[in-house]
Amino acid sequence: MQEIDNFLQNNKDWASKVTAEDPTFFEKMAQKQTPELLWIGCSDSRVPAEIIVGAQPGEMFIHRNIANQVIATDFNCLSVIQYAVNVLKVKHIVVCGHYNCGGVRAALSKQNSGLLITNKWLMHIKNVYRLHQAEIDAMPTEYLRVNKLVELNLIEQVHALSHTSIIQESWTKHNSPTLHGWVYDLSDGLLSSLISIKPGDEIHPIYQYVADES
Ligand code: CO
C-alpha cells in the first residue's frame, strides 16, 4: 500500500507547488477547458501524452486505448472525437503510435485464449497486416516487422479518422481540424510525423458521406 499512497502524497506536493507558482491556477482551470489538440494514443505507460510534448493541464483532450486505434464502432473513441470537434472545436487531432507496441506485436501473433476480449480489439490491426503483408514480411527481424506495422497501423488510423462523419462534417462547415499521425520512439523519446491530412484533402470515394438521395 505504501506505493499507492505515494501517488496521493505526490499529488498533494504537486498541487502545493503549482499553487505556490500561480495562486489562481486551479481557479482558472476549474472554470473551463479550451484545448486546441485532441490526442489519441496508446495506453502504454511509457508514452505519457502530456509529458512527452511538454503540455500543461488544459492544453490537450486525450483518449488512449491499446494500439491507438480509431474504430468506426467504438462509441468511446467516437464520443471523445465528437465532443472534441463539435464542442471544444480542436484545431488538430494527433494519433500517436509508438515503436515496439505490445498491442501491435500481439496482433502479429496467434490469438491468446486467455485474452479473448483483447484479441477482438486487435483484430483490426491483423487486418492492417493482411493489407500490407508482403511489405511487412520483407523486414528482416520481428522487431522491424512490428515497427513497420506500428507505422502502417498509425497511418491507417489517421485515415480512419478522416472516414468518420464527425470529421467530414466539420471539414465542410469549419475547415478544421487537421489530422496528424506521429510515432514515438521509446529508445530516444523522440516523436516523428508520418502523415497529416488537411481539411478538404481527397478521401477515398467509398468513405465519403453524401446527401441522402432516397
Ligand atoms: Co502500444
Average pLDDT over residues 145-170: 98
Amino acid present at 86: N
Cα distance between residue 128 and residue 93, in whole Å: 21
Average pLDDT over residues 164-188: 97
pTM, whole model, 2 decimals?
Answer: 0.95
Ligand 1 midpoint to CA 96 (Å): 9
Residue 151 located in a structural domain: yes
Active site residue 46: yes
Active site residue 201: no
Among candidate residues 63, 101, 105, 124, the one labeled active-site is: 101
Cα distance between residue 178 and residue 90, in whole Å: 9
pLDDT per position as a tens digit, 24-61: 999 999 999 999 999 999 999 999 999 999 999 999 99
Give me the number of domains the chain comprises.
Answer: 2
| pLDDT higher than 70, residue 131 | yes
Active site residue 42: yes
56 and 93 share one domain: yes
47 and 19 share one domain: no
Cα distance between residue 103 and residue 99, in whole Å: 11
Among candidate residues 77, 96, 98, 105, the one labeled active-site is: 98
In the three-class reduction of DSSP (H, G, I as helix; E, B as strand; rest coil), residue 190 is classed as: strand
Average pLDDT over residues 179-190: 98
pLDDT of residue 65: 98
pLDDT of residue 194: 98
In the three-class reduction of DSSP (H, G, I as helix; E, B as strand; rest coil), residue 180 is classed as: strand
Structure-block grid coordinates of residue 149? 506495422
27 and 38 share one domain: no
83 and 173 share one domain: yes
pLDDT of residue 210: 84
| pLDDT higher than 70, residue 1 | no
For 1, other C-beta atoms within 10 Å of its C-beta total: 5
Domain span at residue 173 reads 32-199
Residue 214 located in a structural domain: no
In the three-class reduction of DSSP (H, G, I as helix; E, B as strand; rest coil), residue 110 is classed as: coil
127 and 175 share one domain: yes
| pLDDT higher than 80, residue 130 | yes
